[in-house]
Amino acid sequence: GEGVKVIYKYQLQTLDAKQPFFFNEGSKVLSFQMQLGIPVIWVEHPCNKPPVQRDFVIVPTGCIVDIDNYTYIGTAQDGGLVWHLYEATQ
């Protein structure tokens, strides 16, 4: 049915660049955390929806970024480093 959803985990890289993913339309990022030293997101996908491209970027603390076209997702700590995840909205 329309209400059926599934959760998947995706690994990100600590790059100063957009990272594209293809998620089902209407997918929701549930959490951004470090897992065994790797930045990961858990995403809830509605089943039976077409895939659309979504672009994410990880920004370290102290980095200057043009966030006009970004939506904040979450922050994760990696030892002494802190990463901030944004989704590009354009």
pLDDT of residue 2: 64
Rounded CA separation 77/22 (Å) = 26
The pTM is what? 0.89
Is the pLDDT higher at 61 or at 33?
33
Q: How confident is the model at residue 24 (pLDDT cuts 50, 70, 90)?
A: very high
pLDDT at 18 over 70: yes
pLDDT of residue 64: 77
What are the tens digits of pLDDT across the range 34-89?
999 999 999 999 999 999 999 999 999 888 777 788 999 999 999 999 999 999 98
